Amino acid sequence: MLTKRIIPCIDVDLDDDGNPAVYTGVNFEDLKHTGDPVEMAKRYNEAGADEFVFLDITASAEGRATMLDTVSRVADEVFIPLTVGGGIRTREDIKETLRAGADKVSINTAALRNPDLVNEGARAFGSQCIVISVDARRRYDEAGEHYVEVDGESCWFECTVKGGREGTDVDVVEWAAEAESRGAGELFVNSIDADGTKDGYDIPLTKAVCDEVSTPVIASSGCGGPEDMYEVFTEANADAGLAASIFHFDEYSIRDVKEYLDERDVPVRL
């Protein structure tokens, strides 16, 4: 049986002085400075993380390139798979990000606007390098394709772009299936509704995607502790659980999470 992966993530932006810094927030808003990206990368590499995710959270919205100098410095500190996202728009961007030290690239806005980029990236660099990220939010209208029952109400999940700032009217489950068919090697599912709440992952969202595709799914947003990881693995069948705040603020260590899961017969790499 494949082991479930535990993945810390840093959301990186430029501070008031123009220097890269890690931020955390709630529902993609109210961002607060958390630390230095290179130092945090080094810490998680030593802590036993299975992989590491670096997200440049304003590159797409601001129309700027990913901060590749910082990516390169982070890559020098981690010896586990590194995924980098934010501001990746073209095949050349993918190449330069991989050249800077990333093992995979995470693409959201550009892939939705130009789905052929998924095909091009998979052909040029291999499906294992192409991660399609979705920033999903719940909608309770009749514009969707796949509906789930949540707290007695029927809803669907919409893909958003520019860090959750703009809607697209694209159904997350439909897009996940299309991205898989185009060659995406992994799907990174973020919930705007759950982000930063520590109330648990969005199980209906994650399960809807996992039920639709065979491509590995990373569950993201809302993790408040090991029990939430257990829930998303056993109820939604996610392949990996991503978390930020619980690790950043030392509420739990990666070892704490893995030991909790191992004791409950969830396969993890200890």
**Burial tier of 54 (Cβ tally within 10 Å: 0-12, 13-18, 19+):** buried
| 18 strand-pairing partners | none
Query: In the chain, which residues have pLDDT < 50?
Result: none
Rounded to whole angstroms, the Cα distance separating 73 from 186 reads 25
CA 145 to each of CA 38, 164, 205: distance values in angstroms, whole numbers, following the listed order: 41, 20, 13
Active-site pick, 50, 56, 135, 202: 135
Return the pLDDT at 84. 97
Which has the closest alpha carbon to 28: 253, 191, 241? 191
Phi-psi category of residue 132: left, alpha or beta, with phi > 0 → left and psi -120 to 50 → alpha: beta
Does the annotation mark 202 as catalytic? no
Contact 22, 10 (CB under 8 A): yes
Contact 163, 103 (CB under 8 A): no
Does the annotation mark 11 as catalytic? yes
With a CB cutoff of 8 Å and minimum separation 6, the contacts of 220 are 9, 188, 189, 190, 191, 201, 242
Kind of pairing between the strands at 153-161 and 52-56: unpaired
Whether the model clears a pTM of 0.95, i.e. scores above it, the answer is: no
Rounded to whole angstroms, the Cα distance separating 256 from 225 reads 9
Amino acid letter at 269? R
Calculate Rg over the CA atoms of the chain.
Answer: 17
Mean pLDDT of all residues in the chain? 92
pLDDT tens for 181-216 read 999 999 999 999 998 889 999 999 999 999 999 999
Active-site pick, 11, 13, 202, 228: 11
pLDDT tens for 26-52 read 555 555 657 889 999 999 999 999 999
Which has the closest alpha carbon to 79: 126, 44, 128? 44
Return the pLDDT at 66. 75
Return the pLDDT at 60. 66
Return the pLDDT at 59. 74
Contact 108, 79 (CB under 8 A): no
